Amino acid sequence: MTGWAFIAPALILLGLFMIYPIVWSLWMSFQVGKGMNLSFGGFANILRLTKDAVFIRALGNTFTFFIFQVPIMIVLALLFAVALNDATLKFRGFFRTAIFLPCATSLIAYSTVFKSMFAIDGVVNQTLMELHLITAPISWLGDPFWAKVLIIMAITWRWTGYNMIFYLAAMQNIDRSIYEAARIDGVPAWARFRYLTIPMLKPVILFTTVISTIGTLQLFDEVYNFSAGSGGPSDSTLTLSLYIYNLTFKFMPSFGYSATVSWVIVVLVGILSFLQFLVARDRRTS
Amino acid sequence: MTFAMLRRGIVYVLLSLAAFVSVFPFYWMVVGATNTSAEIIKGKTSLGSALITNATAFFTQVDALRIFWNSGVIAVVATALTLLVSSLAGYGFEMFRSRLREKLFGFLLLLLSIPFAAMMVPLFVMFSQAKLVNTFTAVILPTIASIFIIFYFRQATKAFPRELRDAAKIDGLKEWQIFLYVYLPVMRSTYAAATIIVFMANWNNYLWPLVVLQTAENKTITLILSGLTAAYTPDYGLILFGTVLATLPTLIIFFLLQRRFVEGMLGAVK
Amino acid sequence: MNRIASRRGRVLALALAGVSFLSVAAASAGEISVWVWDKAFNGDTMREAGALYTADHPDVTFNVDDTASQDDIRAKLQTQLLAGSTEGLPDIVLIQDDIAQKYLQSFPGAFEPLSDSIDMSLFAQYKVAAATLDGKSYSVPFDSGVTGLFYRSDFLQEAGFTAADLKDITWDRLIEIGKVVKEKTGKPLLDLDLNDTGVIRMMMQSAGEWYFNADGSLHITDNAALKKAIETYAKLYQNDLVKPVSGWAEYTGAFTSGEVAVVPVGVWITATIKANADQSGKWGVASIPRLDMEGAVNASNQGGSSWFVLSSSDNKEETIDFLKTVWAGNDDFYQDILIKRGAVGSLLSARNGEAFKASDEFFGGAPVWQEFSTWLSQVPSVDYGTFTAEVDAAVQAQMPGIIAGGDIDAALQAINDQAQQQMQ
């Protein structure tokens, strides 16, 4: 009974402001029509989804972002956290603040800076040219491939410090004496990281992985700002969230269809989280 | 010894590099606040002399006191309530496991992935029927029970030493007392991280406040800045001055709380 | 323990008190609220109109909200109309012409027909047509998006061209001029954003075509004007005359800082260009180039918006009377907003006013407003339909391929297929 008492306030609020709207949107996903002229359409929206080339493109892009971005960011965040958790490191406070800064920097400021740095005559291309790494400037924002790379770099830049916070906080919960003992026993640093830090951080690593997965699947801010809302060039940065936004606010309002696309994200996350839990469980048993 | 020094050197170089890359856009934002719009567009990255002009323009065009008050009230109240409700739930889910609650938790995690846009219309209907449109209550209420933060507290609680709880029980403390007097102080670093994260999320919250707050005097700084950016002839000096101001609260909170990331939890208890 | 608990309680009570006093601000009777999206342009223009009306009707006041962007206004309006909740909606909202039909058709009854109370023949007809459904017109036209070719006269002069060389030319001729300018001055002809179809649309409209047939079906694969427009667009890139930009800031930044020679754009850009006082006398305006094909004219449109009255308004009578008195009846007001805001209104009689005849030193002393007025009367009227945003997205998807020299017929087919699928 006590268990329920602790979670009751959250459950009541979730029921009202989450479950109810979600059930409503599930019902909406069976409705077809323009704006307010809605009628029951059965599975028409799901059928439409399977034939929707733009949706398939958005799905593919979203997956690309997820597969490349999440692992890079998680590993980077972990490494930073380990480095900054070392009490003998000088200027820790400065480094910690610096690496946290990107997620506090306003989206407006950072998307403007990124766009100007990666403009065709921007500082990045100039540097690469001077170093003779490239012979012609890269069209970071105009080329479908490089636009994706840019987005991956941008979100990694923005969210690595954010994830680092969770690891740093979790590391404070690890008993220092275990490390001391290991160090005295001559266990090398990488082994302490692999066999002490990682296992102890596992719940939080799992947490950040799930959160980053969801964050990337819902990726919106960067792609909206970098492409003036279009998901371009050539839909190369169109994500599911941006597509949902367009379906809801930009295109002929078909709320039922955009609700259907939203549900696809839920199903995907369900599958992905399930896989992640399975992997985590396998490791534990082996 | 030399190997260790070399390794230390590499760590410093890499951290410095990361710090530089991380700080640059922030630096640009601060410097931009001292330059004119034309200079910013031309890519000037040194301090300018337009700070006063930008500040004056910002404060004449934006009712700053009012707007920052709005943002502040929303963010502070929402953060306090979110931490309370969601940490209770995270603690509850982890400490009192039952098959039903595990299933429920899994279900909640799934719901976490629903894009907000999908829930916006029904939420609006609800708040409109409750006559709460254009109130801070409408902005705050849907954010309090955050599955994200519940999940975070649950994961962090896995590191909470159960012996402490057992000992407290033997001392005759009730469950809520254990939560308040044992769990809360021990989990300070977790609360610190959560405060930063939740405050930032509420301060920067966009889509829902946009839709539910309707009159100009009730809007938040995030909404106002977005509107300024979309002008036909955006004044970037004014905008960057505003973004610097809007970033300060998050940074102050981070500075105040980051101390919590250096002291170990167990050390603090002992 | 009690101390902590009570302190927390007090904080909470305080916080909640702070929250609850801000209840719904009931629209006070006699206050007309308006949603606009740019303070300096449509915001201040509407404030001025309001002040004029309040002077004669002291009991009617105005509340003009310009704090949201156009995208945000659409998101708000659409969420509320979908939710069927009119609470907090304004009396008047500004809507861009090319999406008017979408709103009128998806939210029947949400907007008030105005043609019964206001004589629509007073306005530029292509603007009225954009907001007419089933014989009723729902808007009072505001600014015109009539296009012009803004150019840096100093750059063109350096390359050996005069104003006469740019008058009533074709896009192909402009490309030839651009090559010379590039060679002589090193400046690209213009800056373009691959994520924006604006230039293609204005080329197409100059030939009197749009994405749709009269019955609303797609007009893509058999649309000669669209094909020609895309070909021309690709030619601009292939001749290396384009500075590629991304987003509004970079787009406006390129021409306000003298990086490109010309800007083909709607007249509403004037304020942005004139904001750089040090460039006074270095700019000129010519008629927009036409496509090299039968029926194309040197006039087109880009953007432009109109005032819509929400049916839920509590002050419908005052609101409509206000629009009628000021926006459909006060020629002097139009002179004023032209001078102060660079807003070219759509009230035809206002064109005979003094301000419209004045010359502008910034543009080398040319009577630019007179010229815009002339071009405005020549803008081909097209039906923007309800799916322009969907087709735009389909066009954008083909852009990188097209400028890289891809097959245009295949691209048109792809645009057609994607748009077809999206139009449900």
Instruction: Tell me what pLDDT residue B57 has.
Output: 92
CB contact under 8 A, A172 and B118: no
Phi/psi of residue A228, nearest 5 degrees: 55, 35
Q: Say yes or no to pLDDT of A41 above 80.
A: no
CB–CB of B110/B170 below 8 Å? no
Q: How close C24 comes to chain B (CA, Å)?
A: 6
Q: How large is the average pLDDT for residues C225-236?
A: 94
A251 touches chain C (CB under 8 A): yes
CATH superfamily to which A52-251 belongs = MetI-like (1.10.3720.10)
Ranges A85-99, B161-175, C218-232, most confident:
C218-232
Surface-to-core class of residue C68, CB atoms within 10 Å of its CB (0-12 exposed, 13-18 middle, 19+ buried): buried
pLDDT greater at residue B165 or residue B230: B165
Within the 5-64 window of chain B, which residues sit less than 8 Å (CB to CB) from chain A?
11, 14-15, 18-19, 21-26, 28-29, 32, 43
Instruction: Tell me what pLDDT residue A90 has.
Output: 85
Spatial separation of the C-alpha atoms in residues C112 and A59, rounded to whole Å:
40
Q: How large is the average pLDDT for residues A110-124?
A: 80
pLDDT greater at residue C8 or residue A193: A193
Instruction: Tell me what pLDDT residue A51 has.
Output: 86
CB contact under 8 A, A251 and C424: no
Spatial separation of the C-alpha atoms in residues B161 and B167, rounded to whole Å:
10
CB contact under 8 A, B145 and A13: yes
DSSP-assigned states of every residue in B179-210 = IIIIIHHHTHHHHHHHHHHHHHHHHH--HHHH
A45 touches chain C (CB under 8 A): no
Touching partners of B (3+ C-beta pairs < 8 Å): A, C
In chain A, DSSP assigns E strands to 31-34, 37-40
Average pLDDT, whole number, for chain C? 87
**Axis crossing angle, helix B2-32 with helix B236-257, rounded to the nearest 10:** 140
Residue in A6, A21, A89 nearest the CB of B96: A6
C68 touches chain B (CB under 8 A): yes
pLDDT greater at residue B207 or residue C326: C326
Q: Say yes or no to pLDDT of B68 above 90.
A: yes
Q: How many CB pairs under 8 A join B and C?
A: 122
Residue in C1, C88, C257 nearest the CB of B133: C88
Question: What is the pTM for the complete model shown?
Answer: 0.85
Q: What ipTM was reported for this prediction?
A: 0.85
pLDDT digits (tens, 9 = 90+) for A153-210: 999 999 999 899 889 888 877 777 787 888 888 888 788 888 888 888 888 898 898 8
Instruction: Tell me what pLDDT residue A47 has.
Output: 85
Q: How confident is the model at residue B262 (pLDDT cuts 50, 70, 90)?
A: low
CB–CB of B93/B105 below 8 Å? yes
Q: Tell me the domain boundaries of chain C.
A: 31-145+302-352, 147-300+381-422
Instruction: Tell me what pLDDT residue C238 has.
Output: 94
Beta-carbon contacts of C407 under 8 Å, excluding residues fewer than 6 positions away, are none
Q: How large is the average pLDDT for residues A9-26?
A: 90
If one counts every other C-beta atom within 10 angstroms of the C-beta of residue A284, the result is 9
Q: How confident is the model at residue A232 (pLDDT cuts 50, 70, 90)?
A: confident
Q: How confident is the model at residue B269 (pLDDT cuts 50, 70, 90)?
A: very low
Set of chain B residues whose Cβ sits within 8 Å of the Cβ of C107: none
Set of chain C residues whose Cβ sits within 8 Å of the Cβ of B205: none
Residues forming beta bridges with residue C140, ordered by sequence position: C307
CB–CB of A54/B182 below 8 Å? no
Instruction: Tell me what pLDDT residue A123 has.
Output: 80
Instruction: Give me the percent of chain C exceeding a pLDDT of 90.
Output: 55
Q: How confident is the model at residue C246 (pLDDT cuts 50, 70, 90)?
A: confident
Residue type for position C142: F
| CB hemisphere CA count around C54 (13 angstroms) | 13
A137's tokens? 């400037």
How far out from the chain centre does Cα C201 lie? Answer: 12
Average pLDDT, whole number, for chain A? 84
Q: Say yes or no to pLDDT of C12 above 60.
A: no
Phi/psi of residue C140, nearest 5 degrees: -105, 115
Instruction: Tell me what pLDDT residue B263 has.
Output: 57
pLDDT greater at residue B76 or residue A225: B76
DSSP-assigned states of every residue in C47-62 = HHHHHHHHHH-TT-EE
Q: Which residue of B has its CA nearest to C271?
A: B233
Instruction: Tell me what pLDDT residue C174 has.
Output: 95
CATH 3.40.190.10 describes domain C31-145+302-352: yes
Q: Which residue of A has its CA nearest to B253?
A: A104
Q: How close B93 comes to chain A (CA, Å)?
A: 7
Q: Say yes or no to pLDDT of C1 above 70.
A: no
Instruction: Tell me what pLDDT residue C29 has.
Output: 57
Residue in B11, B92, B226 nearest the CB of A7: B92
Q: In terms of Cα–Cα distance, which of B83, B93, B111 is closest to B154?
A: B93
Instruction: Tell me what pLDDT residue C17 has.
Output: 40
Q: Which 3 state secondary structure label does DSSP give A33? A: strand
C84 touches chain B (CB under 8 A): yes
Q: How close B53 comes to chain A (CA, Å)?
A: 19
Q: In terms of Cα–Cα distance, which of C262, C246, C277, C272 is closest to C185?
A: C262
Q: Say yes or no to pLDDT of C264 above 50.
A: yes
CB–CB of C424/C106 below 8 Å? no
Q: How confident is the model at residue A141 (pLDDT cuts 50, 70, 90)?
A: confident
Q: Of all helices (H) and strands (E), which one includes residue C245?
A: strand C242-245
Q: Say yes or no to pLDDT of C389 above 70.
A: yes
Q: Say yes or no to pLDDT of A13 above 90.
A: yes
CB–CB of A233/A144 below 8 Å? yes
DSSP state of C23: -
Ranges A254-258, C81-85, C281-285, most confident:
C281-285
pLDDT greater at residue B258 or residue C273: C273
Instruction: Write out the CATH class of domain C147-300+381-422.
Output: alpha beta
- Domains of chain B plus CATH, in order, are 75-220 (1.10.3720.10)
Q: How confident is the model at residue A106 (pLDDT cuts 50, 70, 90)?
A: confident
Q: Say yes or no to pLDDT of B74 above 60.
A: yes
Q: Tell me the domain boundaries of chain A.
A: 52-251
Set of chain C residues whose Cβ sits within 8 Å of the Cβ of A235: 393, 396-397
Spatial separation of the C-alpha atoms in residues B13 and B23, rounded to whole Å:
15
Set of chain C residues whose Cβ sits within 8 Å of the Cβ of A37: 106, 108
If one counts every other C-beta atom within 10 angstroms of the C-beta of residue B180, the result is 15
Instruction: Give me the percent of chain B exceeding a pLDDT of 70.
Output: 96
Q: Say yes or no to pLDDT of B220 above 70.
A: yes
CB contact under 8 A, A233 and C400: yes
Beta-carbon contacts of A189 under 8 Å, excluding residues fewer than 6 positions away, are none
Instruction: Tell me what pLDDT residue A284 has.
Output: 55
Q: How large is the average pLDDT for residues C301-318?
A: 92
Q: How confident is the model at residue A283 (pLDDT cuts 50, 70, 90)?
A: low
